[in-house]
A and B are shown apart, each in its own frame.
Chain A
Amino acid sequence: MLLKLEARGQRSRPMVYLTPVLAIVLTLIAGTIMFAMLGYPPMQALQAYFIEPISSAYGLSELLVKATPLALIGVGLAIGFRANVWNIGAEGQLTIGAIFAGGIALVFYEVDSPFILPLMIVAGLLGGMLWAAIPAYLRVRFNANEILTSLMLTYVAILILSYLVHGPWRDPDGLNFPESRIFSDSAVLPVLLEGTRLHLGAVFALLAVVAGWVFISRTLIGFQVRVIGLSPMAADYAGFSQKAVIWLTLLLSGALAGLAGMIEVSGPIGQLLPTISPGYGFTAIIVAFLGRLHPLGILIAALLMALTYLGGEVAQIDMNLPLAITGVFQGMILFFLLAVDVLINYRIRIDWPGNRPAGEGQ
C-alpha cells in the first residue's frame, strides 16, 4: 500500500472550511492521549478544560475578555500574512502600546477628564505602530528580514517595560513591588456587564473584525495585498508597490497590537506590570491561521484560543493540571491544522500493489 499526494489542480473550497474542524478533532484526540500519559483521567480533564470554563455566564464573559486582544491582533496579522509580510513581533508592539497608553494614564493620574481614555487609545495605536515601523523601515530600506527584526524588538520592548515598572514608573506609595500606580477611574475602560470584567475593548475587537473584512475584500488596497501574496510577479506587473504594502501591513498590524496592549492595561489589568500578556501576540499567529486569514474566521478562532487560556486556568485550579498545557494545546492545534491543510491542494490516493491503472505500471 502506498499513499500518494495528487495535486487537485484547484483549491478545494470545502476543505478550506473543513480542515480547521478536523485539526480541532485531532487535537482533542491527542489531548486525550496526553492527559492519559500524564496520569489524569482524560474525560474529566477535557471536561475541566473545555466545558467547565464556559458553563457559566461569568465564564463566558471571561472568554470574551481573553478573545478580545487575540481577535484584534489576529485581524492585523492576517492582513500581513496574506501579503507574505511576517510580523511575528506583535507581542512587542502590544507591550509598547501598553507603555504609551499607560504613560498617559500615569501622567494624567490626578486629572479627571473624559478625554483621557481617547488619548490612551490614540497613544496605544501610535505606540504599536511605532514599534512595527522599525521592522518595516529596515525591510524596505535595507532588506532586513522582518521575522527576525520584529521578534528581536519584542525582547527589547519587554525589557523597556521592565525598566519602567522597576524604575521611574514604580508606584511611589507601593511596597517596592515592580508595579505602577493603579490607574484612576477616568483611565479605565468602562465595564459593559455589571459583575463581570467584560469591557468596552470587546466592542473595539468587533469593529476591527468588520473593518478588517471590508478592507481586505472591498477595497483596492486590500486587493493589492491579496495579489502580492498570491503572485508577487503579477503584482509587480500590475504596478502594485510592494514597499507600500509592507509599510501598510506592518503599521496596521502594529497599531492593532498596540490597541490590544492599551485595552489590556486599561481593562482587565488597570495598571502596568512587568508582564501584561500571557503571549497574546504569539497566540494571535495561531488565531490568524486557524481563522483562515479571514476576519470572521479569526473571530471564531480567537474564541477557541481564548478557551485554551481559560481552560488552562480552570484545570489548574480544579485538577492541579500544569498551566503549561495551554501552550501545548495551542501548538498542537496549529501543527494539526498545517498538516491537514495539505488536503486543500492535494487529494490522497492509495495505491494498492497490483491495482495500478493501466499505463502507469512498469
Chain B
Amino acid sequence: MNRKTGPLKVSKTIAGLSAIMLLAACSSGASDAGSSDEAAAPAAGEACIVKVGVGAGQTGGLAYADVPHLEGFELWAEQVNANGGVDGKFTIETIVKDSRSDITQSATVAAELLAQDISILITSADADPTIAAGALAQAEGVTAVSWFGSAPIVQLAAGDHVFSNAFGDNTQAKVLADHASEMGYQNAYTLASPDSSYTKMLPVYFGEAFEANGGKVVGAGNFSMGQASFSVIVDEIKALSPAPDVIMTPAYEPDFPTFIKALRGAGITTPVLGTDGIDSPTTLALADIAEGVTYTTPGVLKNEGVMGTFFTDYNAKYGKDPETIYAVTGYELGLTLEAVVKQAQSCDADAVWQAWANLEGAQGITGKISYKGGDGMAIREIALIEIKNSERSLIGTFSPDPATVPKAQL
C-alpha cells in the first residue's frame, strides 16, 4: 500500500461505508414509520383489504418449495381480486419479502411485515424459520401459516397463532401405517436418518401407528443423508428374522434411489412404502426398480379434473405447467384464506385467527382442508400413490381421524 495515500483512501472508504450503513438504517426506519398509523379498523362485514405478508425464501435453500407455493398463491389472489375480492369486498394485497431462507432474516422480514398491519403472515416451508417468525406474529396476535412445513410442532414451539398448510408428518405416517395393515403386512422394517426432523420422525410415527394397528416393527435402520452405499443396510434387512413384510422409509433424493437400487439389486422384493419426498420425476425414472413403491403425497399433479383447471389457469399466468405439487398447495392456502375471510367477514388479524383456528371443510384442489381440533397442522386429505408402469396411480385419498393419529412428539 502506498503510505501517503493509504490513510486517505481508507478513511474515504470508511466514510462511504458509514453512509451506506446510515442509509440502510434510515430506510428500515422509514418503512416502519409509515405503518404505525393505526387507522380505525372497519367493522365486521365492511369492505377492507386483506394484507397478506409473505416472508419466505424467494432465494436460498427453501426456494424450491417457497417459490412455487407463492406462484400458486398469487394466481389465487389474482383470480379473487378479479372478482372484486372475497365475497366481492375483501380484496387481497400480497406483500412479499425475501427471507433468503435464513432464519434470522425470516424474523427480520416478519417484523417488517408485522409493522405493516398485515392480517396474516405466511412463512417458509420449514419449521425453524416458521417458529422464528411465528413467535413474533404470536406476540402481535397475528396468524402465521407455513407454506408447507410438515414437522407437527409449530404450535407447541411458537404458540396457538402458528399453523402449517401441510399435513403433519404424524398424519402422513398414519396413512402409510393404515395402508400397511390393510395390505395384511405383519412385520415392518423402518429406515430413518437422524439428519433431519423429517427423516428422523416419520419412521417413529409410522412405527407407533403400525403397532397400534397390531403390526410389529421387527427392525429399524439408520442412514446418513447422502451416504454412498446402502449395502450394509440391505444385508441387515436380508438377515432379519422374521423377515419384514414391508419396508418403510422417508428417504428421498439421492438416498431413496440409491437405497431401492441396492435393495432390489440384492433380490429383496419386499414392498416399500415412501413419503411425499419421493414424489418426483426421479422416482418415476427408476422404472422397474420403483415398480410397486407406494407413497403418500398431498395430491397427484395431473392435468385433469379440478386440477386440470388449475393447470390451465397456471399456464395462462406463468406460461408453463406447474412443476410440483407445491404450486397446488400454495393455491390451496389461498383457498383456505378465502374460506377464513368469508367466515370472519373482516380483515382484522384477530378475527382472521379465530376463523382460521376454527376452520372446517374448506374446499381445496386435492380435497377438504380443516384446522379445527388439530395441532396447528392442516387436516387435509392425503393421497396414496402406487407406482405402476412408471406412472403415478392413485390408490385413494385419506383423512385420518386426528384422534387416531400418533401424537406429535417433541
A and B assemble together: no
A residues at B contact (CB < 8 Å) = none
B residues at A contact (CB < 8 Å) = none
